[in-house]
Amino acid sequence: MSERPDFSAFPDARGHFGPYGGCFVSETLMGALDELKAMYERLKDDPQFRADFDYDLAHYVGRPSPLYLAERWSRQLGGANIWLKREDLNHTGAHKVNNTIGQALLAKHMGKPRVIAETGAGQHGVATATVAARLGLKCQVYMGAEDVERQKLNVYRMKLLGAEVIPVTSGSRTLKDAMNEAMRDWVTSVDDTFYIIGTVAGPHPYPQLVRDFQCIIGREAREQSLKQAGQLPDALVACVGGGSNAIGLFHPFLNDESVAMYGVEAAGDGIETGRHAAPLSAGRPGVLHGNRTYLMEDDNGQIIETHSVSAGLDYPGVGPEHAWLKDVGRVQYVAANDNESLAAFRELTQVEGIMPALESSHALAYARKLAQTMSPEQNIVVNLSGRGDKDILTVAAIDGIEF
Amino acid sequence: MRRIERCFERLAGQNRKALIPFVTAGDPQKEVTVPLMHAMVEAGADIIELGVPFSDPMADGPVIQLACERSLAHGTSTLDVLAMVKSFRESNSDTPVVLMGYLNPVEVMGYEAFARAAAEAGVDGVLLVDLPPEEALEVKPIMDEHALDLIFLVAPTTSDARIKLIGEAGSGYLYYVSLKGVTGSASLNVEEVAGRVETIRNLAKLPIGVGFGIKDAESAQAVSRVADGVVVGSALVNQVDKHQNEPAAINQAISDILSAMRTAMDT
């Protein structure tokens, strides 16, 4: 990299990260996005809004989440120290709630009585249903029919929380189709509805505001590293589907030149098989869901179906800031396949007594390889973005166990 | 003069309004489309909007989603769609053809390659639903260079300032989306549309086509009283869906709807 940009200065006023990002939506939504942008610009530095957000993160989510040294696992691997940023200990069990708290506060300020969301694994749907219950907002969650089937537990959780889950049967019946359907709802209901997007994708200003809400992860991890390890970490590792947990961890460190960063995509059955969900590793730039980014697409620009054992990573696009960080070389994007991730899931559970989400297991699978190439004086922070309770049925099915 | 401009000028001279049917190219089969285009002209169409199928049509309702799926099921590509226009042009050099779809299939070809191929095939205009004028700065001069009109949408939620911006960025005509929603949504409110069209007229110079919610001769007639063009899509694509297993019946079914609209609009 020749000239290092100031990473905190992006996106630009129109939501671009270099050639990526932007606002590619139908005209009906442009007004609503302008309104959201104006409201966010006004509130993001407003002391009362910050105070409300911080209060909820502390007392409702349970922040700060610990930075835990996985001592036994690190020793076994014989390389760098692996520290786990314990987003799995948040209320609702994943990092997703950091963002839904923030967006629900925006919805409240904008006077919208109804929220909608898309969800893949169901974690974002649960986090949305949770804040909607707390604020008394009507909540509808779009979920691919295939995901409804593989994440039954989360579907029921959302229903218990008072949300309506709408199975989406169009297209590939997964996360991307849920997002299409949520956009279609929003275009129809834009007057009274706030669309809570779950990741750092979608039209501007979503990639920016979701990132800003998730940056609490990296700000805490940076402070905790300095305090607990006495230095900045040598490397950060996080899984990347849409990429919200990764950007949340990475962003506060981007201007720290000594910190290496690895975003881990889902290699599914293996990149070489084509059955994966790794657009940064094996896709190319295009436009989908309101932003320009790397996509999994065919030669005609049609979006192709993805595969991952983890529903939360099963998405053909990725947040535009990641696309840009890849091109400028600040973050290395790598991939872990289903088998490696399942092995890491079991290993962490058995060695540390912590059951990670299958999404986070992708980060762990790469971190264990990376640690072995580093020395015991070095430190890696892995974002343990969610807990694995929701995945027990998936893993049991792979083990041939039925309940 | 470009074909679209000429078309609106001719119609204005005759005190008539443009009837603009939309169908998805390659739905349900590739060989259906060109004869259907000719049949629609025969039934009174002035401009044809040809849908370029996309895997993720975010702004479309179930009718056009299914049309995209049917078309993509046998691999209709953007180049196939251009070949259809070229074939249509062999015996029709008057009727403007507008390609309507999403940005990604265009972007994957590259703007320059797409524009050159589209102009060569005889395309007159391009409407990309997910490309607002703010994001069109790069593609606009390339379209101009190839004499292609870049057509933009105006919505019920569009501010006056944006209407001006869109009026200056676009050419050919403005497509006013008559309601908040996806294609194939509920019926439009004619009085509301009339008010909005008047506002748009005061802010932009281009002819105004109105679409979304036009289902039959009655709604086409009502809209034609206030707008310069009437766009009908889902009501036609519904017929393709209904007759997908007997494509021979598609032309007749769609022609019947268009003829009734034409008669109602001209009286």
Q: What is the CATH number of the domain that holds B198?
A: 3.20.20.70
CATH number of the domain where residue A171 is located: 3.40.50.1100
Are A140 and A180 found together in one domain? yes
Residues A82 and A219 in one domain: yes
pLDDT (mean) for A380-395: 95
C-alpha separations of A5 from A8, A19, A260, A265, B170 in Å: 9, 14, 16, 25, 35
The token duo for B246 is: 């007997």
Q: Of residues A325 and B247, which shows the higher confidence score?
A: A325
The alpha carbons of chain B give a radius of gyration, in whole angstroms, of 17
Among the residue ranges A105-109, A154-158, A309-313, B142-146, the one predicted with the least confidence is A309-313
Last residue of a domain, one of A183, A210, A237: A210
Indicate if A228 and A306 belong to the same structural domain: yes
Read off the pLDDT of residues B26-65 as tens digits, 9 standing for 90 and up.
999 999 999 999 999 999 999 999 999 999 999 999 999 9
pLDDT at A63 over 70: yes
- B130 with A191: Cβ contact below 8 A: no
**Catalytic annotation present for B124:** no
- pLDDT tens digits, one per residue of B234-243: 999 999 999 9
If you measure CA to CA, which chain A residue comes closest to B106? A301
Banded model confidence at residue A174, pLDDT cuts 50, 70, 90: confident
Distance from C-alpha of A181 to C-alpha of B61, rounded to nearest angstrom:
9
Interatomic CA distance for residues A339 and B18, integer angstroms: 59
- Among A156, A185, A210, the domain boundary falls at A210
The lowest-confidence range among A232-236, A370-374, A387-391, B149-153 is A387-391
Note whether A180 and A201 are same-domain residues.
Answer: yes
Do A255 and A320 lie in a common domain?
yes
Single-letter code of the amino acid located at A323: A
Question: Are A76 and A40 members of one domain?
Answer: no
Give the pLDDT confidence score for residue B182 in this predicted structure: 86
Q: In this complex, how many residue pairs, one in chain A and one in chain B, have their CB atoms less than 8 Å apart?
A: 117
Closest CA to B20 of B1, B43, B2: B43
Structurally, chain B folds into a number of domains equal to 1
Q: Do B156 and A28 touch (CB under 8 A)?
A: yes
Tokens of B250: 């598609």
A324 contacts A10 by C-beta, under 8 angstroms: yes
DSSP single-letter state for residue B212: S
Round the average pLDDT of chain A to a whole number and report it: 96
- CA pair distance A230, A224, nearest whole angstrom: 9
How do residues B93-128 score in pLDDT, each as one tens digit?
A: 999 999 999 999 999 999 999 999 999 999 999 999
Same domain, A309 and A331: yes
pLDDT in tens, A13-42: 999 999 999 999 999 999 999 999 999 999
Indicate if A235 and A160 belong to the same structural domain: no
Chain B interface test: which of A295, A300, A304, A306 (most B C-beta within 10 Å):
A300
Interface-testing mutation among B24, B102, B107, B130, with chain A (most A C-beta atoms within 10 A): B130
CA A326, A331, A334, A339 dihedral sign is negative
- Position A35 scores a pLDDT of 94
**Residue B267 is assigned to a structural domain of this protein:** no
Q: State residue A225 phi and psi, 5-degree precision.
A: -60, -45
Q: Are B103 and B127 in contact (CB under 8 A)?
A: no
Task: List helix spans (H) across chain B.
Answer: 3-13, 33-42, 62-73, 78-89, 103-109, 111-121, 139-145, 160-169, 190-203, 217-224, 234-242, 250-266
- A21 in a structural domain: no
Chain B contact for A36 (CB, 8 A cutoff): no
Q: How far apart are CA A262 and CA A246, in angstroms?
A: 9
Domain count, chain A: 2
pLDDT at position A311 is 86
Query: Is there a domain that residue B226 lies in?
Result: yes
SS3 readout for B159-204: CHHHHHHHHHHCCCCEEEECCCCCCCCCCCCHHHHHHHHHHHHHHC
User: Does residue A326 carry a pLDDT above 50?
Assistant: yes
Tell which of A154, A180, A210 closes a domain. A210
Q: Is A180 within 8 Å of B57 when comparing Cβ atoms?
A: yes
Please enumerate in sequence order all residues whose Cβ is within 8 A of that of A21, keeping only pairs 6 or more positions apart, or say none: A11, A15, A204, A207, A291, A292, A293, A320, A321, A324
Consecutive H or E run containing B126: strand B125-128
Q: How far is CA A280 from the centre of its chain?
A: 15
A319 located within any domain: yes
Domain containing residue A102: 26-56+96-210
- Angle, to 10 degrees, between the axis of helix B111-121 and the axis of helix B78-89? 30
Compute the average pLDDT of residues B215-232: 96
Are residues A204 and A300 both part of a single domain? no
Q: Render pLDDT for A294-321 as a digit per residue (tens, 0 to 9).
A: 999 999 999 999 999 998 898 999 999 9
B246 has pLDDT over 70:
yes
pLDDT at A2 over 60: no
Whether the predicted pLDDT of A44 surpasses 80: yes
Whether the predicted pLDDT of A149 surpasses 90: no
Residue A336 is assigned to a structural domain of this protein: yes
In the structure encoding, which two tokens stand for residue B238, read together? 């519904």
The owner of tokens 């676009």 is B170
A313 inside domain: yes
> B10 pLDDT exceeds 60?
yes
Greater pLDDT, B179 or B107: B107
**A289 close contact with B: CB closer than 8 A:** yes
pLDDT at A403: 79
**The domain containing residue B258 runs over which residues?**
3-262
Distance CA(B211)–CA(B227), nearest Å, equals 10
Q: Residue A122: left (phi > 0), alpha (psi -120 to 50), or beta?
A: left
Residue A118 appears among annotated catalytic residues: yes
Q: Which residue from B193, B128, B204, B126 is spatially nearest to B163, judged by alpha carbons?
A: B204
Whether the bond into B28 is cis, omega within 30 of 0 = yes
Beta bridge partners of B23: B50
Residue A383 lies in a domain: yes
Cβ-Cβ contacts under 8 Å, A288 against chain B: 56, 104
In a domain, A196, yes or no: yes
Q: Return the pLDDT at A1.
A: 45
